[in-house]
Amino acid sequence: MNDVKGYRGQLLHFTGEPKPTDKRSPTNKKDGDDHYVYHEDGVLLVSGSGHVVAADSAEALAAEGLDLTRCEHFPGHLIMPGMVDTHIHYPQTGVIASYGEQLIDWLNQYTFPEEQRFADLEFAASQAEQFLNLLMDHGTTTAMVYTTVHPQSTEAFFSAAQQRGARMIAGKVMMDRNAPPAFLDTPKSSELDCRQLIERWHGTDRLHYALTPRFAPTSTAEQLAVAGTLLREYEGLYLQTHISENKAEMAWVAELFPDARDYLDVYDRYGLLNERSVLGHGIYLNDRERQRLAETGARVAFCPTSNLFLGSGLLDRRALADAGVDVCLATDVGGGTSFSMLRTLSEAYKVMQLQHQSLHPLEALYWVTLGNARSLGLDHRIGNFAKGKEADFIVLDLNADALQGYRQSRAVTLSEKLFALMTLGDRHNVVQTYLMGHRQAGYQTVKGDAR
């Protein structure tokens, strides 16, 4: 195989958004059938440059001359694309699972004091490494990340991500009011810092820059205008912020921006809405806001574990989808309670069940791979095993503990296997994580023959 490496096991990836109607669908599906590809015994071939060469059944590739004995073999394991997280705060890793507050008090009591520590570059660098380790250990290979108001926190994150060869999106928080004085920038300083970071990092290797006004209450009109100017000036920038997460937050925004029609209009009037804008939460959007999101192509990041933990509310995914709004999925650590996209899917399922909505496991795993990659405009590079794409992938143990092993032994169909995985699974299922074909991390030793 020369410089091509092979990875053999159960193989799953998506070619489009599945719309399954039969919950007891057959275990084996053909390429193009319902937009997913599954091989009970499959092989992923990766070039020395870290790109997908082929993904097919072991039988088909053996017939083409592949020596299967040279593949790394993961019997009883599932190989799938790395997962994508569309809204997460790396400086909040240290305050995950902090007790007893809703959004505004939680920010003041836990988040702001923790984030002030990132003024120290050495501390920020150590935390960036810890954060990336945790992402990889949980099977997340791409994320859209908030840093802090300190430019050095963003430098530290991008530097650590570059060393790993990770495809990451991140940006310095812009925040010039309603926070501790030592923690504020200004419209002028934030513009200067952002310009320097953009010109240093945006488009460097696999890195992208996201303008990051934390949320409307912590930015003046002048600072939001700066963000709009930068968004128009630099090609391909992302924009990330928060919207309509909490009712007290919404009342505060109405007081601070009395001329705005609603929360979304605050961002809209400064030109912050386009197809690369990702707005976290969006629980309490009105009809006009949903329509405007659809018109501009801006996305909403659904953060179920955070919404439940902070008591914020239940996002109505169906209402957003019916309005034509793209909804991506995210952990929102540290308000969110897990780095695991599997656990996040489990909580998303429950939030939707409470509103008489459904989430089929095939739709769910599409959502955290190719779906989120599409939301970020990265599906031409990552998200599935199409030939030539970057080989970010994970190996999952479907039998990571006794309960999962027992449940999997009772599963008849692929859908049942995947539903058990997304309901019972977490980081313990992640055996290996690869970026561009290079192994990153893994908690477990693979069971069985590794050759």
What does DSSP say about strands 72-81 and 5-14: parallel, antiparallel, or unpaired?
parallel
Distance (Å, rounded) from C-alpha 196 to C-alpha 316? 39
DSSP state of 147: -
Reply yes or no on whether the pLDDT at 73 is more than 50.
yes
Strands in 65-166 per DSSP E? 72-81, 83-89, 140-146
- The whole-number average pLDDT for the span 372-399 is 98
Distance (Å, rounded) from C-alpha 191 to C-alpha 168? 22
Over the Cα atoms of the chain, what is R_g?
A: 22
Mean pLDDT of the chain: 93
Paired residues of 72 in beta bridges: 7
Distance (Å, rounded) from C-alpha 279 to C-alpha 261? 18
- Give the closest residue to 449 by CA, choosing from 79, 78, 72, 57: 72
- The whole-number average pLDDT for the span 285-292 is 98
Higher-pLDDT residue of 94 and 323 is: 323
Domains belonging to the chain, first-starting first, are: 5-82+384-441 (2.30.40.10), 83-339 (3.20.20.140)
Which residues make Cβ contacts (< 8 Å) with residue 152, sequence separation at least 6?
A: 118, 119, 120, 121, 124
Q: Give the distance between the most distant pair of CA atoms in the chain.
A: 69
Q: How confident is the model at residue 106 (pLDDT cuts 50, 70, 90)?
A: confident
pLDDT at residue 171, rounded to an integer: 98
Reply yes or no on whether the pLDDT at 26 is more than 50.
no
- The whole-number average pLDDT for the span 83-100 is 90
pLDDT (tens digit per residue) in 233-287? 999 999 999 999 999 999 999 999 999 999 999 999 999 999 999 999 999 999 9
CB atoms within 10 A of CB 445: 8
- The whole-number average pLDDT for the span 203-230 is 98
Q: How confident is the model at residue 296 (pLDDT cuts 50, 70, 90)?
A: very high
Helices and strands (DSSP H and E) totals, the chain: 17, 16
**Nearest-5° Cα angle at 281, 116 to 235:** 75
Q: How far is CA 258 from the centre of its chain?
A: 33
pLDDT (tens digit per residue) in 401-444? 999 999 999 999 999 999 999 999 999 999 999 999 999 964 44
Reply yes or no on whether the pLDDT at 21 is more than 80.
no
Distance (Å, rounded) from C-alpha 428 to C-alpha 435? 19
